[in-house]
Chain A
Amino acid sequence: MGKSSKDKRDLYYRKAKEEGWRARSAFKLLQLNDQFQLFKGVRRVVDLCAAPGSWSQVLSRELYENNKDNEVPPKIVAVDLQPMAPIDGVTTLQADITHPKTLSKILEIFGGEPADFVCSDGAPDVTGLHDLDEYIQAQLILAALQLTTCLLRPGGTFVAKIFRGRDIDLMYSQLGFLFDKVICAKPRSSRGTSLEAFIVCLGYKPSSTWKPSLDLNVSTEDFFKGANIGRYELNDELHYEEESRNVAPFIACGDLSSYDSDATY
């Protein structure tokens, strides 16, 4: 979905090599953190769609390496369809996050304890059919949100990659029901010519009327039934309905003196 500008010679790419990050994506998380202090007080994290693992590397450095003297070690779980080379302090899981079984497995690893932070940098294979690609991307975010509603502590943070297309404001609106603040953030390390951005959801506020529960025969669509987050729900009487839309405030992160990912040198 992102416009492809194939030159890899941008500065972030080189800098990632120099600093030992597995992908230039690391800078996106670092710049998001600079803006929102995402890691503050965070001890337990789920990193979804994590391969090759640069976000996990950042999390490991911030929560694990820098806090080695802490008695209780932090918990970092990384999940991806692809295998991932090990990282200190990170538990990796190779699985599909849209599959209910995967979510149950992650819950198990946390053993009933909540997480402070859930992030997802997932991107599906794009087909070129824009509406379908946007739908699948939304499904990936919803799958991450499913897990989030089952695992995140109240007040916790959820960050996910989005592509700003025609229906992204539906997503903003629905997340608005579950979080205090929903922001669309664009790190400077993410190309301005790409539609990629990150949705930063701060202050999780679980619904008082809806109890999320994972069931193996429940699809993502069924899961959110009754959640009252403004999603269209199936009735016998089929009708046309516009779901509510809402534009999240936009924040560019990373300071202006940082490198420009659109420039070529």
Chain B
Amino acid sequence: MAGNLIPIEHNGPTIALKFFEDDLLLVGHGPILKIYNYKTSEVITTKRIFKKNKIHGITFDRDTLAFYGARSLSILSLNQILEEEELTKYEKMVNDWIIAGEFSYNGLEVYLLTAHNVILGVDSYSQTLQWEKSVWGEKSILYSGSIKVTSKYDVYINAGTVMGGVIIWDLYKEEIIHNLLGHEGSIFNVKMSENDKYIASCSDDRSIKLWDFKTGELLSTAWGHTARIWNLKFYNGDSAVVSVSEDLSSRTWNITEDEKLVANLTFELHSGRHVWGLDVKDGEMLAATGGNDGRVRLVDINPRKIENETQSFEIEDIVANSQYSVKKNEVVKGFWKLNAGLIVVTSEGGIFRYRNNEWTLVKVNLGLKNYSLTNGHTHKNIITFTNDKGITILFKFSDEGDLIKESLIASEVSKVINSISSIYNDELYLLIESPNKKEKLILYHINEDLEVVSTKFFGKGQTFVTTCFEIVGGLVFIGFRLSSIGIYDFETSEEVQLIKKVSISDTVTSIKTLQESQDKILLSVTNRDGYYLYIEYEKSTNLHTYIHTNDLRKGFLEGSIHANQELVVYGFKSSYFYIYNESRDFEIAYENCGGAHRLWKLFYENGNFDFIYTRSGALYIRSIECPNTPYFLGEGSHGREIREISIRQKEYKGANKLYVTGAEDTTIKLSSINFDTGKIRNYWTIRKHTSGLQKIKFLNDNLIVSSSAREELFVWKICENFNYPLISLFGTLNPSSDNPDLRIMDFDHIFVYNDHELKGFVLVTVYSDSSIKVSFFDIESQSFSPLISGFYKTCCLFDVKFIVHDHKVYILSGASDGHLSLWDITDEVQFKVSKNRLNYTETLELQNLPQPLNMIAVHQNGIKDFDIFKTDSGILVASGGDDNGLGLTQFNLNDETITSEIVSFVPNAASSTITSLSGLSDSRLLVGSVDQIIRLWTFKDNELRLVDAHYTTVADTGSLDSTEYKTSDFALVGGIGLAVWEIK
């Protein structure tokens, strides 16, 4: 068995992390070690440490490093790691799971704590076992533990048992020091502080307990995590603890002077479920966390973080340096951040400037009383205040912060309810709205000298309230409540179009230009309900198309920023304000501001954000600076099991192909892969399904179908006109009832043409209640109509395929009873077959599924996946089952009566369920199983023969897809993680 299967790259849960020397971070990605320069995100080296086992821990003494995971151990020098290619030959084994490893005080030995509470002493030079130590009668099973080396003779073992106890024992005395009782359930982590003062432990009960090491006294119990806590670490001179959890959050806790553990910061750094890995670079207060999503996040955990980044001012603080007496109930009424400083207006007309950490009174203008509508142009140092009578006062400042010009605009309206602004060609545009339906919207173009360059009037629909606007390409796009957008000609002020119901309901919160060309405009639109989309607008025809649609699912969505080709969104979730990088799927920052009902504004420049808001009369400035370390290392993938992968045949921009994955986390990811480097790049995480994905497939270069439980099936469309791919919802198969609870297990399609025009596709869907449905999707109307409906038996159908053979259309399905069944639906499908494609006809009626023509028991249990290969006489079906078997069944479709026969069957083709298979050229078959072995088979001359088998690091291996690229085949293997393979 020569190596035909070559692993190229692995993305999976990240458990082990260790900061090393000045700027290195060592990360275990499964069995593979990556050394990053965490300041530049450069990967210094990638080396496989273990043959199969995952790296669960890393420890070092000077430049000697020890890696452990499961029963494996490897002790290597930094030089070896950097210079030698092949390191797995150094892998050693012990007889038990290694819970923790640590070097002895002088570095000559490595202590290994096993899952049965035994310490093995290994000589770090000869790498031989020296001794075993334990405490009598306490060799019970552990989920967690740690080793604390204090001096040559003082070594403490902190063992977390499964029955709620933490046993602290002295290694050299082999004596128990404390048995700390109080937790419920298994202990999942226990650590001792650097100075031996405290012990922190966490368990199944979701609490963190702080204990006094000397006395064993319980000092404090802290709550906050909503699921199990997997890792803990003391930092900042043992005055704080950081924890990571199954609940996806990472939290910090301060130890107060009276030794209580108090919650401080909360971060949501990963996606899916579980954060495992944790290390802290103490001097820099930088934490690295590793998630199930395969990413490493770097985050500032300075306990003073919020204080350092936030300034808050009561009205008294603002006026403190000025000759200004605060009136009763006087509050901040408006503000804008200018280059000249932050300008604030109070409800009594006091205008103040905050610059270089100092407040100064700019002027008092009693006329400005209740001028609460504030707008501005940051770079041009212009701020405007509008009152409800239609008067706008404009101020211009110098870069040094001096007021250099004032001006006034009186709008002829009976009343003003809204004044909003937008920048176009670096000039300020101000839009004034009256609540009176008859009065038009007024748009002012204001130049640098505060002069009105032009005034335009726009009519508006009866029930609309404006929320935002954008000027681009000679058009004005105005966002309204009730999710609609008005498009007006800038020159003539004519309404060109009104787009209604961009989303189901709620307000359009922002419209932003992403790109403009000769004939097209690309806009991003956000809706308060979390829905956002990209609209492509064709100037000549005024046609608009939604080319990207998604749902943020994060509370209220208030706007977006397009920075470095990435979409950053922000809004409110309960009492928090969030800033989220939606393109790369990570949280940038959050602020507990008390919720959406307040004055607020987000300013962005060069990666830095200023979130300015008022709360109970005070003004808050939260400054989020672009960190000097990257937000994350490693691209990663879904944080839950990947259930299905589909690679597009067509190449995407050179060396890459696009692929989609559907996961247990209910999301779909659109990504690309570079087969030369193995590098993946995620573009979008699509949130539409409400339950874990069952299937997802590319139908052609731009159509995708996905299915899940609750009878959800969606059609998606890819758009490649821009710098990165976009994906939008294109159709929905309606469920059969209002409260659907069936799973759509699988589907297949055949395209339908009208002459040469693609009209749509016929789709067969199979369900968990044994039903089979066929419907037609019309591309023009973007809707499905039913064609055939029926049942198989009473068992669950797992998979289905269409077969077109000799002017006939068949359905082949695999079920949980191990049978393959074949139906002839040529008549019922109604479209006629010619040249292996279906021809469109107009009138369609719902037909009953006929009786199956053929059924054959191939497997003892469920058929998890099958693939078909056409032959002259019919088809060959390769199938994999829950029974570990791999079958090859031949269906003869040419004869009068259709016959089937198992031509080859390998009962123990895997040691566990075969979950996925994919046909390759040359009668080859790639097969994945939960035994974590990828096998390559051939079936030349109708006999299944194993060609190669290779271990995969992806656990719960549930899906694979393959594709040809250059002269090789490549495969993506998904489960908990995603691996890239080359098949020679």
Contact = CB atoms under 8 A, between A and B. Distances in A.
Q: Do A and B come from one complex?
A: yes
B768 A240 contact: no
A35 B933 CA distance: 30
Contact of B795 (A131, A220, A247, A263): A263
A186 B882 contact: yes
A204 to B, nearest CB: 23
Interface stretch (B89-97, B313-321, B359-367): B89-97
A55 interface: no
A250 B139 contact: no
B444 to A, nearest CB: 57
Contact of A130 (B163, B204, B246, B956): B956
Interface residues on A, range: 35 or more
Interface in B790-815: 794-796, 798
A18 interface: no
B141 interface: yes
Interface string B103-128: 00000000000111110101000011
Nearest to B691: A6
Contacts of A128: 246, 273-274, 292
B92 A195 contact: no
Given A96-B163, A216-B137, A250 B884 contact: yes
Contact of B818 (A132, A239, A252): A252
Nearest to A195: B930
Contacts of A240: 51, 72, 91-93
B769 interface: yes
Contacts of B862: 192, 262
B911 A164 contact: yes
A65 B641 CA distance: 46
A30 to B, nearest CB: 18
B912 A168 contact: yes
A195 B908 contact: no
B64 interface: no
Contacts of A219: 96, 116-118, 139
A127 B143 contact: yes
B13 interface: yes
Interface residues of B, number: 85
Given A192-B816, A250-B885, A165 B116 contact: no
A158 interface: no
B15 interface: yes
Nearest to B12: A130
A260 B817 contact: yes
B555 interface: no
A260 B769 CA distance: 10
A250 B906 CA distance: 12
Contact of A237 (B53, B114, B128, B955): B128
A236 interface: yes
Interface in A222-244: 222, 231-241
B39 interface: no
Interface in B127-161: 127-130, 134, 136-137, 139-141, 143
A232 B143 contact: no
B162 A96 contact: yes
A263 B769 contact: yes
Nearest to A241: B93
Given A192-B816, A247-B911, A256-B817, A166 B931 contact: yes
Given A169-B931, A172-B911, A250 B795 contact: no
A159 to B, nearest CB: 18
B919 to A, nearest CB: 23
B54 interface: yes
Interface in B883-927: 883-885, 907-908, 910-913
B95 A232 contact: yes
Given A240-B92, A252-B861, A264 B931 contact: no
Contact of A263 (B15, B96, B796): B796
A98 interface: yes
Interface in B13-54: 13, 15, 51-54
Contact of A264 (B73, B92, B204, B769): B769
B369 interface: no
A105 interface: no
A192 B741 contact: no
B860 A251 contact: yes
A88 interface: no
A164 B95 contact: no
Nearest to B767: A264
B139 A232 contact: no
Nearest to B954: A130
User: Which of B53, B127, B143 neighbours the largest number of chain A CB atoms within 10 Å of its CB?
Assistant: B143
Given A217-B139, A262-B862, A235 B186 contact: no
Contacts of B117: 219
Nearest to B246: A128
B140 A232 contact: no
B770 A263 contact: yes
A131 B95 contact: no
Contacts of B695: none
B931 A168 contact: yes
A64 to B, nearest CB: 32
Contact of B93 (A127, A220, A232, A263): A232
A166 B928 CA distance: 12
A109 B49 CA distance: 49
B512 interface: no
A245 B52 CA distance: 15
Contact of A136 (B141, B188, B976): B141
B213 to A, nearest CB: 27
Interface string B3-16: 00000000001010
Interface in A170-187: 172, 184, 186
Given A131-B70, A263-B795, A218 B913 contact: no
B241 interface: no
B513 to A, nearest CB: 43
Contacts of B97: 132, 135
Given A168-B911, A195-B930, A263-B794, 9 more contacts: A128-B292, A129-B15, A139-B115, A192-B798, A217-B139, A219-B116, A219-B118, A221-B114, A240-B72
5 smallest A-B Cβ distances: which pairs? A130-B955, A262-B796, A219-B116, A260-B795, A164-B912
6 contacts: A164-B912, A169-B911, A192-B796, A234-B95, A235-B129, A260-B817
Interface of A: 3, 5, 7, 9, 96, 98-99, 125, 127-132, 135-136, 139, 164-166, 168-169, 172, 184, 186, 188, 192, 195, 216-222, 231-241, 245, 247, 249-252, 256, 259-260, 262-265
